[in-house]
Structure 1
Amino acid sequence: MILAICLLYKDNLLPENVVTKIIQISDFSEPMYGKLFNDFYKDNEEEIKRLRPEIKKIDYVDGIFDLSSGFVRENALVNEQQLLTLDETVIVDILITEDNNDDIFFQNEFLQKVDETIDFFKELLQQQTTKVAEIVRILLQNNVTQLYTAYKKLYIWYLFDKENNVNSSESMIQQIFDHYANKNMGSFDFLDADFFENLLNLDDYVEQASNFLLNIDVKKFPDVVPSHDDFTYEEFFQSPIGKFLNLFASIEKKINTLDSDIIDKINDIPFANVKSFMYGRHYEYFLDEQLKNIFAFKGFSSRYKMNIDMTVVFKEVVISILNSSVHDTWIEQNVAVVALEQIDPLIEVSFDWNKLNGTNIFELIFHASYDFKFQTQWLEMFFKEQSEKYFRKLILLFYSPVDVVQNNLKQLISSASMADCKNHPNTACF
């Protein structure tokens, strides 16, 4: 209400009798009237002293309802006036107090308020020249130990977001390293991973971040799914140990002198299937014999497209997959490559065709620009065992706009014609 009145006053839209009434009824001790009220006081100071001689001048500031700034943060844990007037220790206490409450309702409510506070602080920090922005910067700098866990998202934005127009702080990064050195890494989350991923992309910190990560005891992490050994890709990459181990790929890309450290850390993993998964993700470091299981194949497929040289390594694994009716979109393409290059379905393997999902193998024959060793045998088997299904798919391929598909179809027809000529020598061939 006061803000609206001040805006009207600023535009000379208030009659003199209304100005007098405002002076008579206003609470001049309320600092949240906003900066515009300072102008009102200055312009009417003589009248104020005449009508309200007891009034003492104070500074009026914009609070979280400052409409001119374009944001409202009703649920933030602190407001602008508190930041300007309260001691730093008091503000820190307000920002983290409810984090110690074990009640689920209060925890959820606190997290919502933290998100609002983070957004509020971002708005303030982007107004770089203001006093309150400097207060927030000092608050974050001086209280990493107390604030980082709850306000991790804000720290990462402050340090690394290219759009935030805020200078990064080397001393703050070092304090966060100290925080992680004393942290229970079993609770490693996506923001922890994001922090280190950002450091691995900075030349000044890549070596320090890599060495720090490779010194973390992997045995302190729980299994991907503690209740059973098997896991999906989603479960792996969303688990604390998965988020941590996923950073090894970034380390490998950035520093080529830490190979032995990566190998040692992977060999230290206490969970057999997780270890095999990581063997696959970093297959160059390990023996072929260590890769011949489905989890190593899944790990490989989570990071690489199959190359022809690796197909022989995974041959037996793929035979097992095809016979077990495993349908996994992450590995289907690599399964198809290995099957077409290494497995003769007419001789080596007897499949249950009611369970086998051969669609990816069939389609890869026509979408690849490479002639696989056993693609003819697979086509023969498809048309022999499930002719109606695969003839339908073949007909649909003739409508494909992809050049390589059309070229492969022409090659198939040509090969079929040549075979027919050999089988029927008295037939005219073109």
Structure 2
Amino acid sequence: AAMEPRITLTLPMILAAKSLVLSPLHAGFSADPHHFGPYSPSSRLFLNPLNADPEFLFGEDRVAEAIEASGAGDTRRAGEGAALIDWPTAAAAKLATLRALFESFRAFDQQQTGGRLALDFAAFRKDGGELLEQHARFEALHAERFGADPSQWDWRSWPEPLRDPDSPDVAAFAARAAGEVDFHIFMQWIADRSLAAAQKAARDSGMSIGLISDLAVGMDAGGSHAWSRHKDVLVGLSVGSPPDLFNPNGQSWGLATFSPLALRATGFAPFLATLRACMRHAGGVRIDHVMGLTRLWMAPDGARATEGAYLSLPLDDMLRLIALESHRHGAVVVGEDLGTVPEGFRERLAEAGVAGMRVLQFERDERRFFAPSAYPPEALAMSTTHDLPTTAGWWSGADIKLKASIPGDQFGDDEAGAAAQRATDRPLLWATFREAGAAEGE
């Protein structure tokens, strides 16, 4: 027991928190529930309806009716009792429920003149404008093309006329599949309204910030944004990271990013739209790989990450726009400044009011872990991140065993050497806890 320190979160502790940081809620690919990674979205302008809670709009009884009408009840109940989420199975059940709810909405709510839900849906659709319409058209098109031929997952493999969102062929498809386009707008409506309700609930409970959204560093080049606004995006280049101490082969994430030339030519419209989408129903935003505001490691599709180069971005302009939108929305901004950070970049972020991140596992030298007083006030301190082992996993060495189980060449110490180093590190961390008054005993 002495080797397994635990912290138990109680309800008063949770309610006393100022904020809750989320993983990205960006729109994925509804037609492909196996593509569920939140950091490779179809579009960062819209939401993933799998995270939506329709009870905020329709109430528990009506949603329960939709669950049973869709035949998803048994699957949902089994999933709620499972230790882990089976994303493809859970997604199919959720989408089936939303489909049944949509049919009910069309048959009942939209037939009632002046009904609250129908009016709110119409207002949402009008406010969403062309961007929302194009996203819904992409989702419907993607479902048809990919459903008929798995090789057409990427819109760049579609027939030429369908690659242009403004083509007569796409307009004809939208007219023919109007019900499907409506369904995807319907899901965006539920996602938007339920996220707004969640933020309101957080603030009403006493949280001064509430939800902090997460802005992924890029989007999938085969997705909605790249299809509908391909001139904004550097299609054919993938964002990644250069070789470093943790990964000597570098990384290629398969993500597209904005063209700096297109940003300037459009008055940064795509960047502003993305910021506003992330701040719309949140008290703050965490910018993933915030170094991407000044430079991004890019490699051509199909090339190795080591064959990439840095792309420069207009940092000053982007920081000013972040400050403007932060002020307009009353939202805090956090930047993930971990990894290969340009010299002086963290100071630039601090000057602009963007909080950095300091992670317990990295805040150390060879002899000790740093005391809390050594952490800079312009950064958020945290025990770990989604890229690193949990603190319990680090303490037990589960990450070392997992790495050793992966076939192929591994970089760094072998299992025995890493375990020996961890045996040295644990007492160092515990000593820092004791000095800070956060722990006692051996």
In terms of fraction of residues, the more strand-rich structure is: 2
TM-score, structure 2 as length reference: 0.29
Greater relative contact order (Cα < 8 A, sep 6+) = 2
TM-score, structure 1 as length reference: 0.29
In terms of fraction of residues, the more helix-rich structure is: 1
